[in-house]
Amino acid sequence: MIQRNAVALRDHPKFAQAVLVVIVECNMGYTIADRVRGMLSRPDMRPILILSRDPGKKGRAGIWTGETEKTLYATALERILANNALARAETLVSPPSADPQRAERHWDELLKQLATFRRIVHQPTDEAFQKFRVTLTGKGGGAKDDLVLALQMALFWGDDVRRDPMFLTMAEQAHWQLV
């Protein structure tokens, strides 16, 4: 599915030469992120940047997401929503499918997940020695929040990627003017 999505983007005229930035959450380990890097390393997929924010400094692909990062991601989304700056793209790109409404259903699912996403503050049992604990979630009652997390990560890392050394190298080689 990952390759099909990348190919669909490459087949679209607006994205044929764009740098595809791939963000893989790797909280269960870096194996999946490394597999994604392998799947997307084909020459016809380039230029592509798979973000690596490896706290172990081993250069592994993927983003480790802990509580601090989740708070930063949620704050990025809150800032965008508060400024009424989230807009839907004119064209939603999706791999060819028997279901022509697939992209629309994904958009509707994102809106549903956004409506149920919340910040829960847990009262400590001993206020003198324990901290309040905050949970950011849209899960519960069978609900999912994976599209909200993907949006949050895209918003947060979208700012960061413009300072990424690999991205800057790609931009220099392509003679882009970065503003």
Task: State which residues form the domain around 35.
Answer: 2-173
Q: Any alpha helices (H) in the chain, and if so which ranges?
A: 2-11, 31-39, 67-82, 102-116, 146-161, 165-173
**Does residue 179 lie within any of the structural domains?**
no
* Separation between Cα atoms, residue 134 and residue 70, nearest integer Å: 10
**Does residue 178 lie within any of the structural domains?**
no
Number of domains in the chain: 1
Q: What pLDDT, on the 0 to 100 scale, is given for residue 154? A: 92
Q: Which of 156, 155, 113 is nearest to 136 (CA)?
A: 113
**Does residue 58 lie within any of the structural domains?**
yes
**Does residue 131 lie within any of the structural domains?**
yes
What's this model's pTM, rounded to 2 decimal places? Answer: 0.80
Q: What pLDDT, on the 0 to 100 scale, is given for residue 97? A: 73
Q: What pLDDT, on the 0 to 100 scale, is given for residue 137? A: 79
In tens digits, the chain (179 residues) has pLDDT values of 788 888 888 888 888 888 888 999 887 788 888 888 888 888 888 788 888 887 787 878 888 888 888 889 999 999 999 999 988 887 778 777 767 788 888 889 999 999 888 888 888 777 777 777 777 878 877 788 889 999 999 999 987 888 888 888 888 887 777 65
Q: What pLDDT, on the 0 to 100 scale, is given for residue 179? A: 59
**Does residue 110 lie within any of the structural domains?**
yes
